[in-house]
Amino acid sequence: MAARARRERTPRTYLPGIADVRICGDEATVKAVLEALDSVFRTTTAREYDDGQRAYLQLDTGCTDPDTD
């Protein structure tokens, strides 16, 4: 079987200070990591899937743009 041609991907853009986070683990581990991140950062509501064994969210680490002053 011949390999499929790779689809062309659109370049991603990122906002300064915003991290895309994907967590994989058992349900208890994912929950513990989400709680730890939420206690330190502003986060979006995690989108959990695979029966709680994976989660995707974004977190805000603050503006990382250089200070122009």
Along the 69 residues of the chain, how does pLDDT read in single tens digits?
Answer: 778 888 888 887 777 788 899 999 998 998 899 899 988 888 889 898 888 888 999 998 886 666 666
pTM of the predicted structure, to 2 decimals: 0.63
The pLDDT score that the predictor gives to residue 56 is 92
**CB-based contacts of 55: which residues, under 8 Å, 6+ apart?**
22, 23, 30, 34, 46, 47, 48, 49
